[in-house]
Structure 1
């Protein structure tokens, strides 16, 4: 009888264990899947501003009309080519070459304002005459300024965008995509002057012909206004847009607990452009997270072999990321299965960079980082105890090993990788200790000799 009860309990235990196993793996699988959203907008996207990862998109590459969110690009170009204290004189064409009834700040022909005033009118009030006047001030004409906008768009990596004017007024040759506008929003997030202007929810334009006492303009993005039902404290900047053909458009820059994202909705309805944006922010901040890229020797080795085959490095070279790399993943997702794709780079990049590596999960880019190769250094050591030279003992030490060791002496190892918490930091510190110890043992170099190598390498660089 006891045996039967024991067997019965054993079966129940196995059954419960199996159920728990299935439930656990189902939860993990759910946590690792990319989140989705039910939106009204015809096109939408939310992008992590640090990693560049697309956290969710809906028709992200479909061309749509941007309407007045165009003015974010207008502001970026102006901030690159003009001083905030420059004086802008409003021409007849700047004031009157706009659609009847379109957004304006009551600025008249002949009024003179600073670039700073004009940018506030542009971004807070969406004043079309301010867009025209700024374009004329910077480039001489709206047409020439639009070319500058297109050049900037190309520089930022936009592939489905063409600007025809600085205001966003309807034109069949004036279009963009949600993905491209997110790239523009990421650039705006990095522009301190842009963010400073957007912080001001109101601004007074003085000495206007129509309003000599001044005209106070107010922010129109309702998610930034605490007295509206759409207020969201996470939104730190953004721009509204609307035309009958474009529908409601909205770009928003948001931050929560140090993490920054950009949302874009195109061809939306009112007030869905606000509720859709909130849904995208909730998705980004609640259902995804940024992780520090862990060590994946197998994937990195596969990439190294590709670079050897392509003639980028020699067989002796190892490769490493130049800095700590952050990636964006569904909350709780594992980094297993990450893939590395190498791309050549040009322009303003670290001098020691071989190229840029895109990090993918299931074919989706989740982050990127610059990669470099370890340089070989030939060192001849002298035996100080016997005062005899060691027989041309050429010891090969990788530059990265030296940098890592030097960094360890300075920072205790963990700071090199910027682990996201103390537990990870201690684990990485321990790994670095073990790896450094192993490397030194293989090279038959003592700790003291290693320090000498570091100092010698530094002095050689100074002489060069």
Structure 2
């Protein structure tokens, strides 16, 4: 049996689970705030780089051509699968399969550079032949690499994206959405190597085996490269990628950071100046109307969960254990909103079974704001609990056994004696009652006899 307090805890846990599960019926596309900007681009999105929460959206699931922002996906696969110091050799196909007049840095067939140099050439100058060479280095061919790109995109959650090349030159089957592109851009930003390269304003590729002169590279993103575009620079911009084809129009991915807040903006199918204006307005909107708030502290327990051991196919309760967030959780919410408005949805078993180890994964917790999941954290146990051991009859102490037997016999004797005493008492009471009744009858008889005697004398 377990205590009333323990039962109360178990009931509390079940109530919490029922309440939080029933609190969310649907998930809209974004977190709402006031004074949304007017955007000219056909598709646009603003997300929190940390949690992926959508802060602004416009046609974010509409199919669009990405153009050269495709190269963020190419860079992601290169960082994940390549070695920056490896040497890349440019093939005939890599150099000559790109469209005449498209972006390049003049690489030659048979020329060699490191993967590090190649990534700078691709991301800063949008070099298409370099994208091809990276694809061949990673997967052996452009076609296999394109399949790799699409598969990896779907792993990230970019389900409405299909890539057929590593550079983004137009193809009707090469498409994405603003939402998908934001997911890809966010995934790439998790890698320090990508951050470093995308945040490099200028770079020099040294002379190669075929070219004696160094190649000077300069970042083409106007909100980032302050030296080249002083009038367009945006305070806090940490990098990005431009794109253009006639069919795609202008596309842009931008990263920015202020006061610990990191934002990502994607604009698709836009005019050149409009995409920069839209991006600037969206970043201002994000920084001005949202704030970072700590929702969970890993040192504070989230909930208590009942603990059981299974002994001889029966549950033996061992009290409860507290579970904690695996890490602190902070997120962006509209300024002025109380963090108590964020719902915590716990997904955890109704009870945990021993043995339990400290920091063991116990479940997950979703954080929900305005019916949208804005983050998820793992829940871990705060302590260790060993399994109860079954008691074997061969291990029972004989003295205890004999003592228990003696107690049993003593109880029997006491019960018998008590019964006899009770019966004797009852018998004695019965005798007393009988004698008392006899005395009363005798007194009545004597009284009647005396009265009769007196009457007889009077008659005489």
Query: Shorter-chain TM-score: which interval?
Result: 0.5 to 0.7
CA displacement at 1:321 relative to structure 2: 2.1
Within the candidate set 337, 340, 347, 2:344 is matched to 340
Pick closer, same or farther for the CA change 1:114–1:153 going to 2, 3 Å. same
TM-score (norm 1): 0.66
Q: Distance in 1 between matches of 2:322 and 2:274?
A: 51
Q: Distance in 2 between matches of 1:160 and 1:73?
A: 14
CA displacement at 1:318 relative to structure 2: 5.2
Q: Distance in 1 between matches of 2:320 and 2:383?
A: 9
Q: Which residue of 1 aligns with 2:91?
A: 91
Pick closer, same or farther for the CA change 1:233–1:32 going to 2, 3 Å. closer
Pick closer, same or farther for the CA change 1:245–1:304 going to 2, 3 Å. farther
Unaligned runs of 5+ in 1: 1-30, 306-313, 345-349, 381-464
Pick closer, same or farther for the CA change 1:33–1:202 going to 2, 3 Å. closer
CA displacement at 1:208 relative to structure 2: 5.6
Q: Which residue of 2 aligns with 1:178?
A: 178
Matches within 5 A, 1:272-311: 272-293=274-295
Bigger mean CA deviation after superposition, 318-327 or 225-234? 318-327
Q: Which residue of 2 aligns with 1:67?
A: 67
Structure possessing the higher radius of gyration over alpha carbons: 2
TM-score (norm 2): 0.66
Q: Distance in 1 between matches of 2:127 and 2:58?
A: 30
Pick closer, same or farther for the CA change 1:337–1:205 going to 2, 3 Å. closer
Q: Which residue of 1 aligns with 2:325?
A: 321
Q: Which residue of 1 aligns with 2:254?
A: 252
Correspondence 1:369 to 2:371: no
Deviations 1:25-74 (A, max 9, x none): xxxxxx98455221011111111112221111112222211110110110
Pick closer, same or farther for the CA change 1:257–1:83 going to 2, 3 Å. same
Q: Distance in 2 between matches of 1:94 and 1:323?
A: 45
Deviations 1:240-273 (A, max 9, x none): 0011111111111111122211111111111111
Pick closer, same or farther for the CA change 1:108–1:372 going to 2, 3 Å. same
Q: Distance in 2 between matches of 1:94 and 1:32?
A: 46
Pick closer, same or farther for the CA change 1:343–1:100 going to 2, 3 Å. farther
Pick closer, same or farther for the CA change 1:199–1:376 going to 2, 3 Å. closer
User: Is the CA contact 1:84–1:114 (under 8 Å) kept in the aligned structure 2?
Assistant: yes
User: Is the CA contact 1:32–1:332 (under 8 Å) kept in the aligned structure 2?
Assistant: no
Deviations 1:298-338 (A, max 9, x none): xx77x989xxxxxxxx9956544222211221011112432
SS at match of 1:132: helix
Pick closer, same or farther for the CA change 1:132–1:343 going to 2, 3 Å. farther
Q: Which residue of 1 aligns with 2:152?
A: 152
Deviations 1:119-151 (A, max 9, x none): 111000000000001111111001111122123
Deviations 1:388-433 (A, max 9, x none): xxxxxxxxxxxxxxxxxxxxxxxxxxxxxxxxxxxxxxxxxxxxxx
Q: Distance in 1 between matches of 2:377 and 2:336?
A: 22
Matches within 5 A, 1:128-277: 128-207=128-207, 212-226=212-226, 227-228=228-229, 229-277=231-279
Q: Distance in 2 between matches of 1:94 and 1:372?
A: 50
Correspondence 1:38 to 2:38: yes
Deviations 1:212-259 (A, max 9, x none): 323212111111122422111311111000111111111111111222
Q: Which residue of 2 aligns with 1:406?
A: none
CA displacement at 1:207 relative to structure 2: 3.3
Deviations 1:324-383 (A, max 9, x none): 211221011112432234579xxxxx9733444331222123333222356673799xxx
Within the candidate set 354, 358, 361, 2:366 is matched to 358
Q: Distance in 2 between matches of 1:286 and 1:45?
A: 16
User: Is the CA contact 1:90–1:108 (under 8 Å) kept in the aligned structure 2?
Assistant: yes
User: Is the CA contact 2:41–2:270 (under 8 Å) kept in the aligned structure 1?
Assistant: yes
Q: Distance in 1 between matches of 2:329 and 2:305?
A: 18
SS at match of 1:225: coil
Unaligned runs of 5+ in 2: 1-30, 307-317, 349-357, 389-460
User: Is the CA contact 1:66–1:249 (under 8 Å) kept in the aligned structure 2?
Assistant: yes
Q: Which residue of 1 aligns with 2:51?
A: 51
Pick closer, same or farther for the CA change 1:343–1:49 going to 2, 3 Å. farther
Deviations 1:430-451 (A, max 9, x none): xxxxxxxxxxxxxxxxxxxxxx
SS at match of 2:223: helix
SS at match of 1:230: coil
Q: Distance in 1 between matches of 2:178 and 2:32?
A: 25
User: Is the CA contact 1:108–1:209 (under 8 Å) kept in the aligned structure 2?
Assistant: no
SS at match of 2:220: coil
SS at match of 1:377: coil
User: Is the CA contact 1:340–1:360 (under 8 Å) kept in the aligned structure 2?
Assistant: yes
